[in-house]
Amino acid sequence: MAAVVLDTDVASHVLRRRLTGRLAGRLAGADLCLTFVTVGELWKWAELRSWSLPARAELVDFLHSVVVLPYGESVARRWGVMAATAERRGWTLPVNDSWIAACCLARELPLATLNVKDYAALVEYEGLSLLTN
């Protein structure tokens, strides 16, 4: 299977070995990717929730086991166009979700998420591909 980007919710489930259902099966054998945004969100959670040293070490190991997609000019351009289009339509896109989507769209990769409603407009209007439960 090809590469799949994990939304932060799915990354959290995979990290804690709690992802079940159809999505778990669909991710088996895939090259798992995270965006730079998700890496930041996971570290934020570790800080806010005062994760123990073993839990932080597990996070580090997890981050070494996946491909981390960096920021790049193509991602920034994609996000800018997408955000401007949404604003013209009178929508406000969630910042982190829209950056994650821009990373996927710039690289033509699907996003595995449990939060389908957060990305519905980006699926319809931007062509974002989702893998869901």
Q: Which domains does the chain have, with CATH numbers?
A: 3-131 (3.40.50.1010)
Residue 1's pLDDT is what?
Answer: 59
Residue 100's pLDDT is what?
Answer: 98
- Contacts of residue 77, defined as CB under 8 A and 6 or more positions apart, other chains included, come to 106
User: Could you tell me if 113 and 9 are in contact, meaning their C-beta atoms sit under 8 angstroms apart?
Assistant: yes
Mean pLDDT by 10 residues, the chain (133 residues): 93 95 93 98 97 97 97 96 94 93 98 95 95 93
| Radius of gyration of the chain, Cα coordinates, nearest whole angstrom | 15
Question: Can you give the pTM of this predicted structure?
Answer: 0.94
Residue 23's pLDDT is what?
Answer: 95
